[in-house]
Amino acid sequence: MVHKRPSKNRKLRCRFCTKEGCPRPAVVDYKDIATLKRFCTNQGKMLSRKRTGNCATFQRAVKDAVMRARFMALLSYVSDGTGPRG
């Protein structure tokens, strides 16, 4: 008998939006590396809206912040090679 994994039906919410809605303008600080690393995989790829739960406005703001941080060499473009697969 094959056991199914329990599904996670938890609704993800945008961590930048408040209860009143999306604050305008949508600004994500490119210097806040700890926050930006949450939106990237260990290989350096950005996670999708489906995985992060961001709204469309803040997903674009996160994309711009990650691109700025990569250009300024605060974030790496690719993995540093210390992961489980080298």
Q: pLDDT by residue for the chain (86 residues), tens digit each?
A: 677 766 666 777 888 887 777 777 778 899 999 999 999 998 889 999 999 888 888 999 999 999 999 999 999 888 776 655 54
- Which residue ranges form the domains of the chain, and what is each CATH number? 21-80 (4.10.640.10)
For residue 78, the 8-state DSSP code is S
Task: Tell me how far CA of residue 83 lies from CA of 18, 44, 63, in angstroms.
Answer: 35, 11, 23
What pLDDT, on the 0 to 100 scale, is given for residue 23?
A: 76
78, two tokens: 């690719």
CA–CA dist 21, 52 (Å, integer): 17
What pLDDT, on the 0 to 100 scale, is given for residue 7?
A: 63
CA 7 to chain centre: 22
**Is 40 in a helix, a strand, or coil?**
strand
CA–CA dist 54, 60 (Å, integer): 9
